[in-house]
A and B are shown apart, each in its own frame.
Chain A
Amino acid sequence: MYTVADLRKGLKVTLDGDPYLVIAFDFAKPGKGQALYRTKLRNMISGVILDRTYRSGETFEPASLEERKMQYLYKEDDHYCFMDNQTYEQVHVSEAAMGDAKNYLIDNLPVSILLFKEKAIGVEIPNFVNLRVTQTDPWAKGDTSGSDSKPATVESGYVLRVPPFIEEGELITIDTRTGEYSTRVKG
């Protein structure tokens, strides 16, 4: 069981029997008032998004989902196809249910497919993934301020801001919970 203070983006909870994904979470406290937790929750079956404010002390049951390790194969129309390495069974996950995970998909990426009543309704990817930079402008030499960033495209097609010293062809680590650059993979 979670208390509301444990909630964070990416957590899955049960509301009225359905699995919900926390897609936004923030702490609020109007002047001298009580602590409140503002959440945005997406119903993982219907896709309906709820805005809910909770008081401290509220509790949640984790969503009862089955997790199966699978491998990403390919995208077809608005579906993503994954394969179970043991049984060779293939499942499809809709683009909407993929959420931000679709930004980091590369061939053979190991993922967990989330099943609810045997239907694939979501995907879990590692918190950190390493992706190669396929396009970024060169660093203007002499700029040592360290305060600027520049856009870069990685092999999955995702575009993010990276430090100026990152060059094309380099491998970088991305934090998939925030979508932000984390570090450069050395060597």
Chain B
Amino acid sequence: MFSLELAGASKRYGRRHALASVDLAVPQGTSVGLLGANGAGKTTALRLLLGFARPTRGAARLRGLDPFDAASRRGVGYLPERLRLPQSMTLQRFLHLHAALAGLEGAELVHEIDAVTEMTGVRDRLHEPVDGLSKGLAQRAGFAQALLGQPEVLLLDEPTSGLDPLGVRDARGWIESAHARGATVLVSSHVLSEVERTCESVVILREGRIAASGALEALLQPGESLEDLFVRAVAGREAPGPPKHREGREAPGPPKHRDGREAPGPPDGLGG
């Protein structure tokens, strides 16, 4: 069974196509980076998967179910890009409610809140109002709620937004440990270095379509970084090298195979 599926999914807002016939199937236990320029359709894809919007055409499935079926979101942790925490609620109550909604009860609930707040470093803030937390702490609190109950699917939209370098390193650890225990992780991000370090596969969207997808090791050419691949897939051109010298000498070209062949376009993998 696939944890996340988009089958020919299109989403249109007026005349604009946010997503156009996207096919995506993420098997259980995979960590996938969802990449793309601003407005490429990353957040729209997440909205379809969570049942926040219906595809104009095609279908979305979460844990094999229609995302509009509440049962599909059982065992799903989600961290939105624009994290807005509720007003006038302490962090403890916020996490308590989310733990209860995640199906936890009694001692297990208390233990789980202890565990995630210890892990995300917000344990000493439990009695503070969540809407008064600094951006970095709020992001940690958001991570804490997403990780409650050890979700089997973790959907993270720009997860390192607002975190300091230590927080970014911590977040990488949380994502890696979730993946290590078998969770499916989908990370939508602009921070390519983080995706490169935490995800085994990537899906790159360009103007609502999949421009490249597959295992990182299969997509990247020798000596090529994810940034190079991203530029190649999103801009539709080879990764730019250093600027030309004033006297007109060519700067080094796009990445090539060690035997001198040019790197081919991105192959398909996860996408259809």
Co-complex (A, B): no
B residues in contact (CB < 8 Å) with A: none
